[in-house]
Structure 1
Amino acid sequence: MKNLPRICCLALLSLLLVAGTALAHKVNLFAYVEGGTVYTESYFPDGSRVGGGKVQVYDGQDSMLLEGTTDQEGLFSFPVPKIDDLTIVIEAGMGHKNSFRLNRAELEGGR
């Protein structure tokens, strides 16, 4: 029982270290449709923008429809390529990757 506080502290420290590592590889991606165009915004947890990030767009059958690169503000836009469920993937280098799903109804509503 004497070691219980020490074990608890070590366990808590281990969890904090793992959580910090997980956040280090996180990138945020948001997308919306307006006027027949899909707009994306990508940034890191600290608020800095993903400049030069690789963007790929897939349809509901996982076929790649298009790809491009974010600008220095982390922005990328494209005309709606297909009325289908779309998955947008951002790769920001060094293991930073995330995806965002737009469903068919959102694409139809954003025309």
Structure 2
Amino acid sequence: MRIGSLLIFTLFLGLMTAGPALAHKVNLFAYVEGGKIYTESYFPDGKKVKQGTVEIRDSHGRRLVTGTTDDEGLYNCPIPKVDDLTIVIKASMGHKNSYLLKKAEVEDGQ
């Protein structure tokens, strides 16, 4: 009986901590095509990231470009540098995520 109670407590504790972990999640997808970087940002419930800040950083962490998503959660800009590029999205209420575009992907998309 004691093991059953411990199992129920453990499951309950797991469920209680899962919510906050997902609360600050935002999804980010990026790709390169025709000399431009394209991003799409959205929350787990499907809502688009409106007016989110997008930063593009090089492999040394230097910020190359800063922009803002539109009402559809989209952003694009010309390729600022052929390098491993980290795309960062900063949305409302502390939501943040990043996406790595490898140098080979950037080269292929020129």
TM over 0.5: yes
> 2: CA distance between counterparts of 1:54 and 1:9?
42
Give the AA of the match of 1:44: F
What CA distance in whole angstroms lies between the structure 1 residues aligned with 2:35 and 2:47? 28
Cα deviation, residue 33, structure 1: 0.4
1:82 is displaced (CA, Å) by 0.5
Taking the TM superposition and a 5 Å limit, the aligned residue runs for 1:31-110 are 31-110=30-109
Compute the displacement of 1:4 (Å).
2.2
Please give the secondary structure, in 2, of the residue aligned with 1:108: helix
Q: How far apart are residue 95 of structure 1 and its match?
A: 2.1
User: How many residues in Structure 1 have an aligned counterpart in Structure 2?
Assistant: 110
Alignment of 1:18-33 (within 5 A): 18-33=17-32
TM-score of the pair, normalised by structure 1: 0.94
What is the deviation of 1:16?
A: 1.3
Gapped regions of structure 1 (runs ≥ 5): none
SS in 2 for 1:52: coil
Unaligned runs of 5+ in 2: none
Per the alignment, in what secondary structure is the counterpart of residue 100 of structure 2?
strand
Q: Distance in 2 between matches of 1:49 and 1:20?
A: 20
Identity over aligned pairs, percent: 56
Provide TM-score, normalisation by structure 2: 0.95
Partner Cα separation in structure 2 for residue 7 and residue 16 of structure 1: 14
Runs of 4+ in 1 over 3 A off after TM superposition: none
The residue matched to 2:91 in structure 1 has which SS?
strand
